[in-house]
Amino acid sequence: MNRPAEPEHTHHYSVNQEEVSFYPWEQRRKPVAATAISLLIVEAGTSHVLLSKNLLEDQANLVAEIHLAATLADARSLLTGVAHKFDVVLLDLHLPDSDGLDTYFTLRRLRPELPFIILSDEHDENAALQLVQEGAQDCLSRDHVSSTLLARSIRYAIERKSILEQLKATQLQLIQAEKMESIGRLAAGVAHEVKNPLAQIQLGIDYLKRHASGVSARIPKLLDAMSKAVGRADEVICDLVTFPTT
């Protein structure tokens, strides 16, 4: 079915870069909510910093609080301080006081939970692959990066890192649960092996109590002490069995 031609006076306008049409047969797109982030740009060159800032300013859907570090020492100070809580780091590997992959490794050791995006003038697929394998979220070449690409990379990097941290936390919980289950099985086995001898000992004590008449007055007291010791041992076994479930 052909749609009628649009009259000349019909207007389209952009909201958060999502075009909206007033034609009933066109599905309206909901505007994307702006994402507010705290961003650390580690760049030595002023022109590079301005380029990154200008690219981000073109994105209405991404509101970035930008912090700058021109050296590795500055970046270390900001990342280890308590004044700022960063969501993502844009990193140039070539700084006045550090160069190459060591720049990334040094900062990642400080804040392994943060997503790092590498910005470079070079286009080295092998180096980019190595960085991603070592935990970097993305590697972008300045010659090919655009405002949309940079914003998308930042969004995805934050989301991927968040999912990864959740997966790690879930994995640790599963490992802990498996350990506790193993402890529970071990405790149940130990309890079975120990409780049976304790029961036999208690039967022997009860028998001696019934046939201890006419012997030394100390014997009943010793039997009572033995019975209490067996009771305490039984309580310890019960606590051991129930510990993994508490």
pLDDT (tens digit, 0 to 9) for every residue of the chain, 246 residues total?
454 444 444 333 333 434 444 444 444 444 555 678 888 999 988 777 777 777 777 666 677 788 999 999 999 999 998 778 899 999 999 999 999 899 999 999 999 989 999 988 777 788 888 888 898 999 988 888 888 888 888 888 888 888 888 888 888 888 887 877 777 777 777 777 777 788 888 888 888 877 766 667 778 788 888 888 888 888 877 777 776 565
pTM of the model: 0.57
3-class SS string, the chain: CCCCCCCCCCCCEEECCEEECCCCCCCCCCCCCCEEEEEEEECCCHHHHHHHHHHHHCCCCEEEEEEEECCHHHHHHHHHCCCCCCCEEEEECCECCECCHHHHHHHHHHCCCCCEEEEECCCCHHHHHHHHHCCCCEEEECCCCCHHHHHHHHHHHHHHHHHHHHHHHHHHHHHHHHHHHHHHHHHHHHHHHHHHHHHHHHHHHHHHHHCCCCCCCHHHHHHHHHHHHHHHHHHHHHHHHHHHHC
